[in-house]
Amino acid sequence: MEEIRNKIFTQIESYREDMIDIQRQLTAIPAMSPDYKEGKGEMEKAQFLIEYLGKNGFGEIERYDAPDERVPEKARANFIVRLKGKSSARRFWVMAHLDVVPPGSLKSWKGDPWTLRIEGDSLIGRGTEDNHQGLVSGLFAMKAFKDLGIEPECDACLIVVSDEETGSKYGIDYVLKNTDLFGKDDLIVVPDAGEASGAMIEVAEKSIVWMEIETTGKECHASTPALGINAHRASAELIVELGDLHKKYSRKDPVYDPPESTFEPTKKLANVGSINTIPGSDTIYYDCRILPEYDVDEVIAFFRDKADKIEKKFGVKIQMKFPQISKAAPPTPVKAPIVKMLAAAIKRVYGVEAKPMGIGGGTVAAFFRRYGYSAAVWSRILDTAHQPEESCSISNMINDTKVFADVMLQKA
């Protein structure tokens, strides 16, 4: 087995320039959700990959595109490529996503976000880490087995989906609702989160609640405040009132990082255009990441109770909306086969002891877990996703490929 493993690892190392080149071509295709103003969907990027797979001898590509009238092709791309293994009793899946987020302010980039730059060991461009690194690693792990004529222990599958960045309605959620592709014994890896050491295998996530809180008062001239009701002042006091949420929800769980629930005021909409006007409307947003042992509905009710008190105190009206409510999915067991197999592979490739952990962020692994599938989230990353100058380490990309190949060699 060691001889075969070394042969595969050597083959993967030989792909270095090919992996950089495919990153270059993927980065040049700005596949964004139509939820973003400039987004036209992911189909162009999907077609490029499907053509690439065909040229490299992969067989039939299975399509599970989701209808979406908002994009030119009227569909969002989801597809699967398979590699036959010694057994089809279970499958090893790597799930990656096509879509990226907008680049943000171009002034924050040193170059064009859609043109790959190479600086030392780094590939720089929008999407290089999120999620091209995982996509390329999953693809080239399968390619190594195919090119060498070596069968993995079980069928190996790469599933590539759309819409991860804006809710997954047209991506993995659509696939799970409309197919029976997955089995309870399948091994599922989502390379869409991680840390610089590679020592974290994510097996659990907190509940997520995004709140939009709109406070309505009465606009007037700032020199005569008694003639109005200052929505901004009421909104600010609500933030202060909610400042001790960490005391009410104080439990800690060392499996998670950070170990406690978090409640952060984030975005704020502009209210009035002049300094001398008292705003009649003020809108703020909260991002809450809540440990699974807390009831999300109870947390929302607590927010509502605080808002009711502010309404009475200031004579305002406060409306709450929820751009996202995602209750924590059941965790993947820490002793699940995919967790143990990943840990063994990470130890061989990176020489680190990887441990199962929970995170505050949300990943698409939650969709698998809600269906009863044991999914693990892992990648060794620079953690630059969604940032200007997003980057991927070439050595991480190559070594992550070895990790996935190592799992493909293991007997569960």
Angle between helix 134-148 and 394-409 (nearest 10): 50
pLDDT category at 76 given cuts 50, 70, 90 is very high
pLDDT band at 216 (very low <50, low <70, confident <90, very high): very high
- Residue 172: both structure tokens together: 């993995």
Pairwise CA distance, residues 412 & 407, whole Å: 9
Residues 88 and 184 in one domain: yes
- Is residue 273 scored above 90 in pLDDT? yes
Regarding whether 393 and 251 lie in a shared domain, the answer is no
Residue range 143-152: mean pLDDT, rounded? 97
Residue where a domain terminates, one of 326, 356, 373:
326
Domain boundary among 266, 291, 326: 326
Number of domains into which the chain is organized:
2
- Indicate which CATH number applies to the domain containing 256: 3.30.70.360
List Cβ neighbours of 115 (8 Å cut-off, separation of 6 or more). Answer: 27, 28, 125
Domain boundary (326, 347, 371) is at 326
- Per the residue annotation, which of 42, 99, 129, 186 is the catalytic one? 99
88 and 153 Cβ atoms separated by less than 8 Å = no
Residue 326: predicted pLDDT:
86
How much is the pLDDT for 255?
Answer: 85
Catalytic residue, from 65, 164, 165, 389: name it: 164
Q: Encoding tokens for residue 406? A: 């190592």
Q: Are both 241 and 186 inside the same structural domain?
A: no
List the domain range (segments joined by +) for residue 15. Answer: 2-205+328-409
DSSP state, 314?
A: H
Q: According to the model, what pLDDT value does residue 71 have?
A: 97
Q: Of 45, 42, 143, which is closest to residue 94 (Cα–Cα)?
A: 143
Confidence tier at 56 by pLDDT (50, 70, 90): very high
Interval 228-250 mean pLDDT:
96
pLDDT at residue 2 in the model: 92
Same domain, 252 and 370: no
What is the Cα–Cα distance from 317 to 217, expressed in whole angstroms?
7
**Are both 301 and 400 inside the same structural domain?**
no
Q: Are residues 211 and 346 in the same domain?
A: no
User: What is the percent of the chain with per-residue pLDDT over 90, rounded to a whole number?
Assistant: 94
CA atoms within 13 Å, Cβ hemisphere of 40: 8
Task: Assess whether 308 carries a catalytic annotation.
Answer: no
Same domain, 6 and 41: yes
Dump pLDDT digits (tens) for 302-353.
999 999 999 999 999 999 999 989 889 999 999 999 999 999 999 999 999 9
pLDDT at 390 over 80: yes
For strands 256-257 and 355-359, give the pairing: parallel
Are residues 334 and 263 part of one domain?
Answer: no
Q: How far is residue 327's CA from residue 306's CA, in Å, rounded to a whole number?
A: 22
Residues paired with residue 189 on neighbouring β-strands, in sequence order: 94, 376
pLDDT band for 205, please (50, 70, 90 cuts).
very high
Q: What is the pLDDT of the chain when averaged over all its residues? A: 96
Q: What is the mean pLDDT of residues 211-232?
A: 98
Please indicate, yes or no, whether residues 68 and 132 belong to a single structural domain of this protein. Answer: yes
Read off the pLDDT band of 22 (50, 70, 90). Answer: very high
Residues 373, 287: one domain?
Answer: no
164 is catalytic: yes
State how beta strands 200-205 and 355-359 pair. Answer: parallel
Q: How confident is the model at residue 185 (pLDDT cuts 50, 70, 90)?
A: very high
Give pLDDT, residue 1: 83
| 274-285: pLDDT as tens digits | 999 999 999 999
The single-letter DSSP state of residue 41 is: B
Asked whether residue 102 falls in the same domain as residue 142, the answer is: yes
Is the same domain home to 163 and 41?
yes
CA distance 27 to 159: 19
